Structure formats: structure tokens, C-alpha cells
Amino acid sequence: MSDKLFRLDSGFQQYDWGKIGSNSAVAQFAAHSNKDVSIKESEPYAELWMGTHHKVPSYNKETRESLSDIIKSNPNTFLNEEIIKKFESTNTLPFLFKVLSIEKVLSIQAHPDKSLAKILHSSDPKNYPDDNHKPEMAVAVTDFEGFCGFKPLNEIADELEKIPEFRDIVGEEVSKEFVENIKVGSVAPGSEEDKSNRALLQKVFTKVMTASDEFIAEKADLLVKRAEESPESFNKSDLPALIQFLNKQFPKDVGLFCGCLMLNHCKLKAGEAIFLQAKDPHAYISGDIIECMAASDNVVRAGFTPKFKDVKNLCEMLTYQYGSVESQKMPPVDFKKSSGEGKCIEYNPPIDEFSVVETTFKGCSSGSVRKHDGLKGPSIVISTKGNGYLKYGDVKLKAEPGFVFFIAPETPVEFISEDEDFTSYRAYVESNF
């Protein structure tokens, strides 16, 4: 067995929002990569986890040793000294890599930053199992829909004026204050005008989130009726259908207001990505994505969920940044530490914990080679489409959909295609802080 490049077995989660049976990419990957997994066609398969997180750890496929134990046995080899020092761990990766298959809307949620995560974990370890932050990035594998961040304020103001149900929940006084006092146009981040905008947005959001369930239910019925009978009332043409669709999944839910009317409705094509900072509200609606995040499972939920809701912390913790969907997209760039045939693009968010590289061979012949230079930190690769190989020295491992690999630091690897569909994603961390 090579200690530089080896196959992993990765576990999966069956949350009720996952795609059902073989329709789920997660189920397909899990079953194809592990003969012991048998897909149950009536059950949801939501997430494939790749990494060292204690909740669903990955294992060396050959030795059955956990990746965490492997790293612990020789941290300098499997992490490197700089990463150990930066992230203060000798047995865990700083990132968690996932595949998500989404059939039903996830909860409207946000994730705490590091300081808040420590407080929440200390006071409520059951609901907040980690003391780490959780910025995350989603790369669409299929057409994807979600909510990401607060809309431009003028759009929210317009909805408060046009949608009486929304205005009723927020209240006349706060609605009027928001509409009349927000500053739109070129407002500098961190300026006094920006701070005032964020404070006003917090007032509106808090009013929605603290309204009684009975009041929300009453107004939700009217909102859905409006979406059915007067779609022209809404400032975005996709909102009426979205409200009706989500109401069928979570009838009379507060998410119809805080999600549909306050957050950006984001639609991504395959290959597009969004980055979500800690303390930014979001929710995924449908599609298959590659997701990477700092290694944490902390979630502060608000709507579209039967799980624990922490409205107080959510309303207090959000940054209340606002803006367009485009401002949250993560444009890919050429991955400079590669060469050869095929194509490598990188999604590189403004954080230390991870970047993600997509390697493809569209239009290339069988046997085409793309070389990745040795990177300074560890990485995990998942093959998602087509067939090929990963090669380091004399080690050559078959890569098929759902196959997952660990690559140690300073390990140059060749990606070799068997067909032009061969596609993989690589999450990595480097020690150039």
C-alpha cells in the first residue's frame, strides 16, 4: 500500500431532504464504490462525507484504518508542519468534503464564526457539536437552486410595499422605517450608511422570525393565495411558483417569508459555484452539488425544518450583508499547478481551509494525462463521472464514479482518462498562509 496515494471508503447520511434511492448521486456513488452498500429505493440519500470528521469518518479501503488514525500516526507526513501549526490538530483535516443530492429544501440556516462556535459548543454541545466555524462553498454538478444571502435592500423594500402579508408580519412601524431610511446605490461596506442599512435589515428579519406560528400560518395562507391568483404582485417572476412549491413541502412555514421574500433565489448551472461566509443565511432547494467547508457540523436553523430552531442566536449572529446573487458567486480560475491534456479549473474562496479543483477531459482521447504538481498540504479526490486512473510513481489506482482517494502533501499525481467523460473534484489545503 502507498502512504502517498490510496483509496478511501466514505460514509453517507440519509436525511429526509435527500434524493430517493437510485435517483440520488450520493446513493449511486456509495454503492458503486463499496459493494457492501445496497441502495434501498424507498429511502433518501442526502450526503456523502469525505474526511476526518468524527461523525462520519473515512477509512483506508485496503487496511480499514480510519483516515484520522492514519494522519495521527505521522502528522508531518500526512498534514505537514505548517498546517499542524495553523489549525492546531495532528489528526484531522481542516476541511470536510461532501457530495449532496437535494430533493427537498434544506433548512434556512447559517453557521457561526469561530468565536461564536466555541460559545455555542460549550453551552449546548448536543445542538452544536463542534467548536469550529463553517464557511462553505457549493459547486453545482447538475442544475441547482438555493437561497443565498439577503437580497438587495431595494427589492425587500419593494416587497414590503407590494405584499401586504409581508408588511403585516413586519409591522407598519418597522416596515415604514425600513422603506424610508435604507440607503441604496453605491454604499461603501463598513460605512455608517452600510451599518444603518444592516441594522434596519436586522429589525425586519427579527420581526419575521419572532412572529407567532399562528400569525405566520394565517399570513402564509394569504401569501400562497396571492402567489396563485395575483403573481404580478411579486417583483420577481419566479417567486410565485417558488412560494407554491415550497409551501407543499413545508406548509405555512416562516421560511416562505424569511426565505422567499428576503433571501436571493439562486440558480446555478453545472460548473457554477457560490461561497457562503460564516454568519450568512442560506438554504439549498434542489440539485446535486459538490460541497466543501471548514470541518464543522454546526448549524443554526430558522425555517423549513422540523429540527431544533435557534431563532435568538440566528437573529443576533448574522452579518446582515446584502447584495445580488452575482456577488456571492465564486468564479473558477485556471489551476496553475497542473499541466498536460484536459482542463483544470480552481474554485478558490477567501479562506485558509480549502480550495477545490475540477479536472475534466472533454474532447480528449483515451489515455490523456493531466499532471497535478505536488501540493504543500493534503487533499481528497472524488471521481464523479466517466473512468480513468490516478497515478503516483508505481501506484496506479482505478477511478470510477464515487471512488474517493487521499493524496498526501508533496505528492505529484497524474490523472489519466479512459474516456472523455472522466471528471474529478479535488479538495485541498496548502500551507501558504
According to CATH, the topology of domain 5-146 is: Jelly Rolls (2.60.120)
Share of the chain above pLDDT 90, in %: 78
According to CATH, the topology of domain 333-428 is: Jelly Rolls (2.60.120)
pLDDT tens per residue across span 379-396:
999 999 999 999 999 999
* Bridge partners, 382 (sequence order): 404, 425
Question: Does the structure show a pLDDT above 90 at 132?
Answer: no
The CA distance from 323 to 89, in Å, is: 36
The CA distance from 150 to 317, in Å, is: 14
Task: Decide if 167 is catalytic.
Answer: no
pLDDT tens per residue across span 332-356:
999 999 999 999 999 999 888 999 9
The CA distance from 329 to 148, in Å, is: 10
Burial class (CB in 10 A: 0-12, 13-18, 19+), 248: exposed
Higher pLDDT, 199 or 282: 199
Mean pLDDT over residues 107-122, rounded? Answer: 72
Question: Does the structure show a pLDDT above 50 at 214?
Answer: yes
Neighbours of 395 (CB within 10 A): 15
The CA distance from 323 to 328, in Å, is: 8
The CA distance from 125 to 36, in Å, is: 33
Mean pLDDT over residues 179-183, rounded? Answer: 96
Q: Which of 167, 301, 370, 426 is catalytic?
A: 301
Q: Outline which parts of the chain fall under CATH 1.10.441.10.
A: 152-261
pTM of the model: 0.91
Burial class (CB in 10 A: 0-12, 13-18, 19+), 81: exposed
Q: At what angle do helices 153-162 and 192-210 cross, to 10 degrees?
A: 40
pLDDT reported for residue 419: 97
pLDDT tens per residue across span 257-269:
999 999 999 999 9
Confidence of residue 16 (pLDDT cuts 50, 70, 90): very high
pLDDT reported for residue 365: 95
pLDDT tens per residue across span 285-327:
999 999 998 876 667 777 887 776 788 888 888 899 999 888 8
Confidence of residue 88 (pLDDT cuts 50, 70, 90): confident
pLDDT reported for residue 133: 47
CATH architecture entry for 152-261: Orthogonal Bundle (1.10)
